[in-house]
Amino acid sequence: MPVHGWLAERIAVTPLYWSDLVLGTVWPLVGAVIARGRPRNPVCWLMLLPAMIGPYHLLAYYAGYSRLVAADPLPGWEVGAWVGCWGFVGYWFATPLVPLLFPHGRLETAPRRACARTVITVAAVGTLAAMLRPGGTDPVRGVPNPLGIAGWEWLHTVMFVCAATAMLGGSCAAAVFLVLRTRAATGVERARLQWLMLGGLLMAFSFLSLPLDDAEQPALVGDLVMLSGLLGPPASVAVAMLRHRLFDVEVVLGRAIVFTVLSAVVLGVYAAVVAGAGLIAPGSLAGTCLIAFTALLAANGRGAVQAAVDRTLFGHRHDPYAVVAHVGRRVAPAGEPAEALQHLVDALRHALRLPYAAFESPAVAAASGRPAAGAGWRVFPCRALGRELGVLRVGRRSVNDPWTTKEQAAVEEVADRAGTLAYAAALVEDIARSRARILSVREEERRRLRADLHDGIGPSLAGTAHQLDTLARRIDDPDLAGCVRTLRDRLRTTVADLRTVVQGLRPAILDQLGLPGALRELLAGYDTPACRSSIDSACHRLPAAVEVAAYAIAGEAVANAIRHSAASRLELTARMEDTVLILSIRDNGRGIPPRHRAGVGLRSMRERAAEIGGRLEVTSAPGSGTLVRAGLPVGDQR
């Protein structure tokens, strides 16, 4: 603005920096491009907010010309002056909220929603303070705020505090959430977040570089540094949201994080050491050696920082032995092969930061995560003892996901372990089926023997004893009659022993009333607790082994509830779900104490269920009652 004569002393104009130009043009331009394809995403509208930088400067200069140069006031200069006091606040909202809402414009968690509300509230208070603060506009200091409240200079402090809180505090919180989301994300989502992290790191590094400028250097140098930093976020958002598969961001991101972290550490330590050396021994050899030692320490620490960053963001993809060791530690606590396979795929996915990992075989299957959209997976055969027992599917992170030789070796080693576990799972399954078949055959044979003894041999022997008694009464010889009576008594004793054996083979009530009637009989005769039963009619004719196990489990659970729970209500239900008998006994008593040691009853119920391939679950909370639930398969028992 050309100014002549005495006006030159009255006008102080803040220059238009290149960084302001980038903030007011590139950010809104990227937001507009994204809004064209995704108009419902609030990220694009937040990026349009810095477009106020242009009107803010123009209106402030217009008001300055009207107020300080023109002979007569120009129309509407007060509006321009007022906008010149607060029109820069758009980036207070955009800078912290864009990483919080990126990429879908949603705040899925309560902490993120709280952070966003805090940023909006603080930035809004700061905006209000800027609108009402007394004093001049920022671009042209000599133009007063037409709505400024005289004597309220404290609004300047409120504005600066709100600006620092929203920009610095909000941006740091958003960066923390961004790192946490990146670690939890997979596939395309992870690539998008990594691009935004890269842009944020570029901006952070440019701001860290500003103190390195000499005071003698022109302000243009610092402005260009800020310009390059402000280009980072919009460029990364554009690539991430529009063409996220153009490049492999992981390597660049890892190096950028290391460079930024080391730069910040070195700058801080260097400044502290130089200041300390200047105070302790200015210009001395000790101070010089201390500075050199700091530089050497930073150089040697780069490798450790790089390894830590790679491990945090990308897992152990460059260290196959670390992958195998991590998987081994996760698999070791498993109680059975099927559980170990689930731990294996979970650990593999975590160790390599994969979106999906799964093991598939005829005997057992386990999966972790979900495949990335359109990325597919790699398949690795799992072998043990010279046989292929299944396949390990490893999801790709993206379509162009690079696959290193070390990652290949690590997954192949894990696949061999999965094959061994699949072989063990098949053996365990075979043993369980064999045991169930043996038990089923045993119980069916016991039911047949009981029927034969009870309905055939028992009545025959009892009839023979009755005939001997009749014969003894007809014999006149006392000695001979006594011998016959002795035989009669021994035969009756044999019949009693036979009945004892019959009773031991199988609970008689199951043959007399069937399983539904036997279960109802367990609850008969009790006033307290009030007992209720609900038994499916499909439970009437089941395999012998299932009937015995169900009756024994129900009897033990009912007895425990009556003796120990102090319950007022007891409910027994039995129903069929496909080929599984679901037996539940629930009470509303005091529950099982937290440190209760399982006794013979609980162990016996678990063993009864396990013998036929079923499962028993006992859930209880102090004061909330106890639920005993057994799932007993009947499909293979018939």
| pLDDT per residue as tens digits for the range 481-524 | 778 778 878 877 877 777 777 666 677 777 778 888 888 888 88
Percent of the chain with pLDDT over 90: 3
- State the chain's mean pLDDT as an integer: 75
Superfamily of chain region 513-633? Histidine kinase-like ATPase, C-terminal domain (3.30.565.10)
Domain boundaries, the chain: 5-196, 248-310, 320-427, 437-505, 513-633
- Give the pairing of strands 387-395 and 580-587: unpaired
DSSP strands (E only) in 181-252: none
**Residues pairing with 530 in the sheet:** 569
pLDDT score for 629? 92
When pLDDT is cut at 50, 70 and 90, the band that residue 118 belongs to is: very high
When pLDDT is cut at 50, 70 and 90, the band that residue 125 belongs to is: very high
Identical topology for domains 320-427 and 513-633: no
Give dist(CA 165, CA 184) in Å, integer.
Answer: 27
CB 244 within 8 A of CB 200: no
pLDDT at 370 over 60: yes
Percent of the chain with pLDDT over 70: 71
Q: Which token pair is 426?
A: 């098949």
Kind and range of the H or E element at 394? strand 387-395
Q: With a threshold of 0.85, does the pTM exceed it?
A: no
pLDDT score for 6? 41
Give dist(CA 25, CA 55) in Å, integer.
Answer: 11
Q: Supply the DSSP string of 433-476, one letter for each residue.
A: HHHHHHHHHHHHHHHHHHHHIIIIIHHHHHHHHHHHHHHHHH--
CB within 8 Å of 448: residues ≥ 6 apart: none
pLDDT in tens, 70-98: 777 788 888 888 888 888 888 788 888 88
Which one is predicted more confidently, 51 or 444? 51
End-to-end CA distance of the chain: 99
Per-residue CA distances from 354 to 134, 316, 409, 568 (Å)? 56, 11, 16, 52
Which one is predicted more confidently, 234 or 225? 234
Give dist(CA 475, CA 472) in Å, integer.
Answer: 5
pLDDT in tens, 173-200: 888 888 888 877 766 677 777 777 777 7
pLDDT at 2 over 50: no
Give dist(CA 309, CA 331) in Å, integer.
Answer: 26
Which one is predicted more confidently, 602 or 223? 602
When pLDDT is cut at 50, 70 and 90, the band that residue 245 belongs to is: very low
Q: Which token pair is 609?
A: 């269920």
pLDDT in tens, 270-315: 555 555 555 554 555 555 555 556 555 655 555 555 555 555 555 5
pLDDT in tens, 308-359: 555 555 555 556 667 777 777 877 777 788 888 888 888 888 777 778 888 8
pLDDT at 533 over 60: yes
Superfamily of chain region 320-427? GAF domain (3.30.450.40)
Q: Which token pair is 421?
A: 């576990």
pLDDT score for 121? 92
